[in-house]
Amino acid sequence: MFNRWYIVAVALLPFVVLLAGCSQGTRPEPTDTLHVTVSIVPQKYFVERIGGQHVTVSVMVQPGASPETYEPKPEQLRALSEADAYVSIGLPFEKAWLDRIASTNPNMLMVDTTRGLERMPMGVHHHHGEEERPPEGETENPDPHIWLSPELVKVQAQTIYEALVRLDAAHKETYQANLDSFMADIDALDADICQTLARVENRKFMVFHPAWGYFARDYGLEMISIEVGGQEPSAAELAALISEAREEGIRVIFAQPELSTRTAETVAREIGGEVLLVSPLAPDWLDNLRQVAETFAEVLSE
């Protein structure tokens, strides 16, 4: 009896091993990709363009959320323990959280993509042809929207490339080729935007949140912002903005889907205009900037 059961057990052993192997096969296999965390969605596009298949990118500020009011979730901070790098971009929330983010993982490379950039003060504003800047001493609060300038994105892309090579020198040639391709696309985008906006005569546009300052500077436009420094306008300031919009022949107020449009709608209603939504946080950065330029050109040429 013993021998018979022994023979049966031995005969079944390969099938048991096979089943065990199939079970183990359902588990995720370890990969050699770099785990990179970024602050906002456009940065994901940058890192993936350069890193390609060798990176897995996580985003802190999820689509639809506003970087202006964002605070990292506990589960996001815990997930950073597995990240190889964190790519910052100078957003307001990073000032309060970046040290804590870094402390979650001492082995995580902290990559500052503002390095080497000259940034404008936040809230550079125009009223009746006069530029208003923050008072002296407030220039330490720079405009964080550096991803909306193709020229500045080229600098950020170089910084990201250098970080990936530092972490994964084995794929340096791939990263370099991807960087070169991305830089060529940025140059083509810049040329397209210049051509698109060349025919625009009225160079002034009004926005609720001043996200497009670098874009305006790069392409000879003038941004008039309703909100400055995160503050809604007072009743007197709102009246002045409405008057300015009428004087400049502005009929469209640009807002973004991540923020309230209430005040923009108020201005639009008073001038007999409309609100158009343009997002600075769209996932396809290249296509988004091209479409935004076309929208600006269409609105400003009317």
Predicted confidence (pLDDT) per residue in 195-206, tens digit: 999 989 899 999
Section 248-262 average pLDDT: 94
Q: Which pTM was predicted?
A: 0.85
Q: Are residues 46 and 158 in the same domain?
A: yes
Tell me, what's the pLDDT at 65?
84
Residue 223 and residue 77 in one domain: no
Average pLDDT, whole number, for the chain? Answer: 86
Query: For residue 239, what pLDDT is reported?
Result: 95
Same domain, 104 and 222: no
137 in any annotated domain: no
Q: Mind listing the pLDDT tens digit for each residue in 124-136?
A: 544 433 444 444 4
The reply to whether 177 and 255 lie within a common domain is: no
Give burial (CB, 10 Å; 0-12/13-18/19+) of 213. buried
AA letter at 208: F
Whether the per-residue pLDDT at 208 is higher than 70: the answer is yes
pLDDT given at position 31: 54
At 34, the amino acid letter reads: L
- pLDDT for the residue numbered 47: 98
In the sheet that holds 222-225, the strands lie side by side as 222-225, 204-207, 252-255, 274-277
More confident residue, 230 or 105: 105
| pLDDT at residue 30 tops 60 | no
* Whether pLDDT at 268 is above 60: yes
Q: Mean per-residue pLDDT for 49-55? A: 98
Q: Which of 43-52, 89-98, 126-135, 242-251 has the lowest mean pLDDT?
A: 126-135
Average pLDDT over residues 73-86: 96
Is the confidence at residue 244, as pLDDT, over 90? Answer: yes
Residue 250 domain flag:
yes
Residue 135 lies in a domain: no
Q: Does 269 share its domain with 294? A: yes
Among 22-26, 38-42, 171-175, 220-224, the range scoring the smallest mean pLDDT is 22-26
Q: Which domain holds residue 213?
A: 199-300
Q: Which domain CATH number covers 250?
A: 3.40.50.1980
Question: Is 285 within 8 Å of 182 (Cβ atoms)?
Answer: no
Whether 51 and 180 share a structural domain: yes
Q: Are residues 185 and 224 in the same domain?
A: no
Residues 77 and 217 in one domain: no
**Cα pseudo-dihedral 29, 30, 33, 35, rounded to 10:** 110
Instruction: Give the pLDDT mean for 285-296.
Output: 98
Same domain, 148 and 260: no
- Residue 160 within a domain: yes
* Residue 66 binned pLDDT confidence (cut-offs 50, 70, 90): confident
Mean pLDDT over 26-36 rounds to: 64
Q: Say which range, 181-190, 256-265, 284-293, has the weakest mean pLDDT.
A: 256-265
Mean pLDDT of all residues in 55-79: 92
Which positions ≥6 away from 285 have C-beta within 8 Å?
A: 42, 45, 46, 147, 153
> Residues 155, 238: one domain?
no
Number of domains in the chain: 2
Q: Residue 36: its pLDDT value, please?
A: 98
Give the Cα-Cα-Cα angle 132, 232, 221 (nearest 5 degrees): 45
Question: Residue 167 above 50 pLDDT?
Answer: yes
Residue 90 lies in a domain: yes
So what's the pLDDT on residue 26?
Answer: 34
Residues 100 and 182 in one domain: yes
